[in-house]
Structure 1
Amino acid sequence: MFEHESAGDVYRQALPVIVISLVAGLFAGTVLGSETMRNGIESVPGVLVLLPAFLATRGGVYGSLGARLSSALHQGVIEPRFDLGNRRLRNAIVASFVNGMVVSVFIAFIAFGVLVVLGQSGSLLELVGIMFVAGLLSAVLMLSVLVSVLFVGYRRGLDPDNLIGPVVTTLGDVFGVVFLLVAIYLVGLVL
């Protein structure tokens, strides 16, 4: 379907997504720089340590899913519709979800270890709770939006390879920052 794309076609398809990513990235930066976020970060020792790793892994885990789905669409292995009866689609989504959750909790353990090595106090339970909640919320929304954008774009004649990078990095940054803040306050209410 996309055999003879020129550089102009790639640019035409990717530019709107990149512009949206830019605006969304500015939004994520605004949230990250807000007083509410600063207060949340300061209230939980170790959050500043885990923040960059959490944001980076959103892109890694869900970028792999986007690439896998893009290849499957190009090969005709899956149809561009959300059908959990399709074993390949279901397995790709479940694997990404599990990877995202495991990595999120692992990051909490690493952040706690860094705190211990630096001789600072922190709560492993609180960090794990925050990362679990933030990982869960971001996974659900990232999976839904990523799959939807790829399938809708493909049905409209866009090459999903041109959409994956900007969509995943934007979703990871925006949802990651927002849901980390939400998780800090939710876990703070429980603990």
Structure 2
Amino acid sequence: MVVPQGSLGTWETSSIVGNMFPLLVVLSIIVLWAGITLEDAEELLEQYGILAVMVPTMVDMGGNLGAILSSRLSSRLHLGTTEFDPRDRVLWANVAAVLALAATIFTALAVGAYLLGAFLGIGLPLTTLLIISLISGMSVAVIAVVFSFAATYASYRLGVDPDDTTIPIVTNVVDVFGMVIFIGVSALVLGF
């Protein structure tokens, strides 16, 4: 599919601000949910301090994975090389790369948290940290993939440049889901 020149919005400041301001207001309200979830999990995080160390990386990496895929999809749209066809092998290769990266990052997070916890004397068993990190992380990665595709496709269909919208949408939504999933999986695994 060849994308016609100018069909994905303009580079005018007023157009970008007009598209982004309402979106950022809505996304700011959504992100409040992550803060409320974190506050509700205060007792869990105080009892298992190493989980509090994992929270920023867990949330940040999920958003970063979504941003990577969103950027790749947006670039392919601008180049006219994507069709959002389920048979497109390049799309599936991008998804596989993001999921492989997620598995690597969240395994490293668990190992790093284990080593830090052992050093500080606040640790949990490595298997517990791996279960929490990989279940949470891979779930967040799948959500990042879904929202990357949805935000990019919706932006394109609405005639808005995906470069302006996808990364804020995906990172904010994935941050919220990342927090909720991480706290939920941690509580479930630890029987809290």
Specify if TM > 0.5.
yes
Amino acid at match of 2:70: G
Q: CA RMSD in A?
A: 1.7
1:13 to 11, 19, 33: 19
Summarize the alignment of residues 125-136 of structure 1 with structure 2, pairs less than 5 Å apart: 125-136=127-138
- C-alpha distance in 2 between matches for 1:39 and 1:137: 24
**Pairwise CA distance, 1:5:** 2.4
- C-alpha distance in 2 between matches for 1:159 and 1:13: 9
**Pairwise CA distance, 1:50:** 0.9
* Contact 2:38-2:179 at 8 Å conserved across structures: yes
**Pairwise CA distance, 1:53:** 1.1
Instruction: Say whether residues 1:92 and 2:94 are aligned partners.
Output: yes
Q: Which residue of 2 aligns with 1:48?
A: 52
* Contact 1:142-1:175 at 8 Å conserved across structures: no
- C-alpha distance in 1 between matches for 2:128 and 2:46: 14
**Pairwise CA distance, 1:21:** 1.3
Summarize the alignment of residues 13-92 of structure 1 with structure 2, pairs less than 5 Å apart: 13-34=19-40, 37-79=41-83, 81=84, 83-92=85-94
List gaps (5 residues or longer) in structure 2. Answer: 1-6
2:159 to 152, 157, 160: 157
Identity %: 26
How many pairs are equivalent? 185
- C-alpha distance in 2 between matches for 1:68 and 1:103: 19
- C-alpha distance in 2 between matches for 1:40 and 1:184: 9
List gaps (5 residues or longer) in structure 1. Answer: none
* Contact 2:143-2:174 at 8 Å conserved across structures: no
Deviations 1:82-131 (A, max 9, x none): x3310111111111122122211210111111112223342111111101
* Contact 1:142-1:172 at 8 Å conserved across structures: yes
* Contact 2:31-2:175 at 8 Å conserved across structures: yes
Q: Which runs of 4+ in 1 moved over 6 A?
A: none
